[in-house]
Structure 1
Amino acid sequence: MKENNSVILRGHQSAVAQDIWDAAVSCEHRAVHGDIVWSLDICVQGEAADQPLESELAAAFAKAATTTVLYPAAEAIPSAYWAVTPDVLLTRARLELSDDEPPLQEVTAVEAPVPQLPRAIVTRFAEIVREQKPDTPVAEAFAASVEQARQAASVLARLARP
């Protein structure tokens, strides 16, 4: 079994780096417990040049540190994360906090096997599918044509009034 040394990465942009004066980029780190051993909070000021996407930063960090990196998914589900491995395998992950003190950060499920997370169950995430809003071009075109017909009928009704 591989040694557990996974990292969670949370990035965000800030107009002002409050803790570090004049720094374009700052990083706070802290040890955590469970499947994740480090948490990194990276803050980038708006004027910093060449800002990578969070997914690109996580993949580069995973490869350079030879560990799995988790970063928050776009969905509004608090446990929804992406995991990227040193081999640049990208998969969804469910990160849950225990009620223990200090809380354990446990990856309970992934959509593809991750060697550094051997206890995580491999499964599909129904809650993510429900959260996603797929494009519906036929329905959108139909709704637009109904709206055009409604507007045309409204104009004709106004013209027909004495």
Structure 2
Amino acid sequence: MIRTTYRGRPIKVLAARGEPFHRKLVINGHTIHHGWQGDDAQALDWFRQIIDNIENSGGAGMVAMLIPGQYTEPHWYEPGTIDINPSRHATQPGRVCMCPACLTDDMPRYETLPVGACRYCHQGPDGHKHDVDFLNPHRYTEPTTAQQTGRRAVNGQPRQAA
């Protein structure tokens, strides 16, 4: 069993029940695989390779154009450094997802997020409904500094001194 953090993402590699040489892979609390074949070190190397490819491809929002696969989901990114669009794809704060589905179908509907929008959704502090997103119920949470900075840059607002 391995529990570690790589580039801000908590990673767990656990033995799968009843199957020798099978591993359960977990990143940011989200199970990726229940029966990955290999040992702990190979699983950790696989995670590192995927995360390095994501980061080298431009990160959230850009990865869908350059790397085929399911790397638009929020669990692949460091918590608090991304925004999540209505399609549940990770994007750079204040930006859009560049996957074909978001670009063709949904891009005109997306507006830039206000600086004070919730860390996990697009709602503001006033009138925030914690159960609107039934997959991720939560209370209003102040956006991180990285999210606020990215949103200010896209909205054309000056940077605030920290």
Q: TM-score, normalised by structure 2?
A: 0.33
Larger RCO (alpha carbons 8 Å, 6+ apart) = 1
Q: TM-score, normalised by structure 1?
A: 0.33
